[in-house]
Structure 1
Amino acid sequence: MQPTFVLVPGSHAAGRCFTALQRELALRGHRSLAAFADEPSPTAGITHADNVAHVTETVRRVRKHGPVILVGHSRGGFVVTSVANAVPDLLARTVYVSAWCCVTGTAADYLATPAFRAPDTGAEIVASRSALDPDESRDAGADVVDPAAWGGIPHSYVRLTADASMPLALQDHFIEEADALTPGNPFDVHSLPVGHIDSLLQPTDLAEILAGTADYREGAR
């Protein structure tokens, strides 16, 4: 049975940032649903817990029609992790696209590590400005991956090697820590030589990767 991709946007973004990616997935015969697609400014006054509740309910509804692959870009990774911890039985796979995946600490802990450097993000902000919203959720939560729940779900990480917003060293740090925590279920890792939002603006390669994650064996979730 074909899965449905539930797409969770990153910082200052709504579901419309996935328009091009959804088109590419549809051309490959895949259904997708962008979380927070209906509201013009969905994050005003909203907390991380609110986001998690919204996406969890979306996943519950979509799961009635087949497997669900939950995809998070950038800050959307916080929500992916929390939903996967809460309802692992509803997810066939999680996918992090240059996204936060907190394993041993909170976002603040990772920001203090050598893996994070504050690079020049000016060009990426200019490129993505038309798709940004003025508001942001109030917090990122404090959830870390639960090896008994999150760790039992197949998970993929898409490294964006030219990313100036999410340093490649930090992306690799998330992967290494998660693999150490769940060595029997490591990340399925892919790499694209693009910046933080390039894969959303020109999503052909990302769509190919996501389509590849939809290859299910008998008995898949």
Structure 2
Amino acid sequence: MFNRLKSAGVAAALLAATVPALTSASTAVAVPASDPKPTIVLVHGAFADSSGWSKIAPELRDQGYPVVAFSNPLRSVQYDSAYLRSFLDTIPGPIVLVGHSYGGAVITNAATGDPDVRALVYVAAFALDEGETVQDASVLGGGHPTIGDHLVIRPFPGAGEGNADAYIDPAAFRSLFAADLPRREAAFLAASQRPAALATFATPSDEPAWKTIPSWYVVAKQDKTIPTAAERVMAERAGATTVEVNSSHVPMLSKPGKVLKVIAAAAR
């Protein structure tokens, strides 16, 4: 009896000594560190502000992504890109840049040479080539933009000769910018639009980031702000993974689910 108890005690002692060691070893091997999710930086374009991402940002946050809706100065391609570039320097870890409309021109320049930017997403946006302006890109593929016929021009201090702020005439805003949104929602966007300096349309772009960074593009098939033909040309030459959506110029507001899927694919 004593010998059996003694043997059982020795076995129990050996087991007690062995199990923690095995547990510790298996824990060290079986639980690798996971990669952090990228911060998704949303960049609005002309005639808009960060509230244009109101149907996108909360969903991305619910999926566990850090999200920032960047306030685009709308002064010129060079100024706005430099501003965004300095902002990105304050964000640790990987980044996915999402640009709408003119915001595409800004991310195209700001991300060049930034190793933290892992993907670019263009939402009905300008993916400019080197030396190209927004005006140049608007007529790619034989597009015929009409937005220039519906601008309200207002001065601003320090604008310089030939420069001023441009707004879309509220009477034409819904048909040009947001035809598939409810009238009440489109009317508020028209009333709250942020102006873009004329310099944003005429400033040449620098070396594009899409030449070295994987890109995605959402083409808006009913766009009356950037001709759909121009969007298709920009998406193709950027080698972007392209999704076409039957929407106006603001698919992130009228078809947010489709835009979310594209952003999530880029973030993965």
TM-score after normalising by structure 2: 0.65
Q: Does residue 130 in structure 1 map to residue 188 in structure 2?
A: yes
Q: Does residue 22 in structure 1 map to residue 80 in structure 2?
A: no
Residue 52 of structure 1 aligns to which amino acid in structure 2? S
CA distance, structure 2, for counterparts of residue 26 and residue 158 of structure 1? 21
Q: Aligned residue for 1:181? A: none
1:67-146 counterparts in 2 under 5 A? 67-85=94-112, 87-103=113-129, 105-113=132-140, 115-118=142-145, 122-123=174-175, 124-125=177-178, 127-131=185-189, 132-140=192-200, 141-146=203-208
1:139-184 deviations in Å (ceiling 9; x for gaps) = 22311544xx541111111111222222211111112333xxxxxx
Runs (4+) of structure 1 moved beyond 6 Å? none
1:109-158 deviations in Å (ceiling 9; x for gaps) = 23455522235864235653423434213422311544xx5411111111
Q: Does residue 211 in structure 1 map to residue 264 in structure 2?
A: yes
Residues 108 and 138 of structure 1, relative CA distance in 2, 3 Å threshold: closer
Residue 11 of structure 1 aligns to which amino acid in structure 2? A
CA distance, structure 2, for counterparts of residue 4 and residue 130 of structure 1? 29
Q: Does residue 60 in structure 1 map to residue 60 in structure 2?
A: no
1:166-205 counterparts in 2 under 5 A? 166-178=226-238, 186-205=239-258
Q: Does residue 47 in structure 1 map to residue 76 in structure 2?
A: yes
CA distance, structure 1, for counterparts of residue 96 and residue 139 of structure 2? 31
Residues 134 and 187 of structure 1, relative CA distance in 2, 3 Å threshold: closer
Contact 2:123-2:251 within 8 A present in 1 as well: no
Q: Percent identity?
A: 24
Gaps of 5+ in 2: 1-35, 147-171
CA distance, structure 2, for counterparts of residue 112 and residue 157 of structure 1? 18
Q: Aligned residue for 1:34? A: 69
Residues 213 and 135 of structure 1, relative CA distance in 2, 3 Å threshold: same
CA shift, 1:24, in A, is 1.7
Residue 258 of structure 2 aligns to which amino acid in structure 1? D
Contact 1:20-1:202 within 8 A present in 2 as well: no
Q: Does residue 10 in structure 1 map to residue 45 in structure 2?
A: yes
CA distance, structure 1, for counterparts of residue 254 and residue 245 of structure 2? 13
Residues 213 and 176 of structure 1, relative CA distance in 2, 3 Å threshold: closer
Q: Aligned residue for 1:161? A: 221
Residue 117 of structure 1 aligns to which amino acid in structure 2? H
TM-score after normalising by structure 1: 0.78
Higher RCO (Cα < 8 Å, 6 or more apart): 1
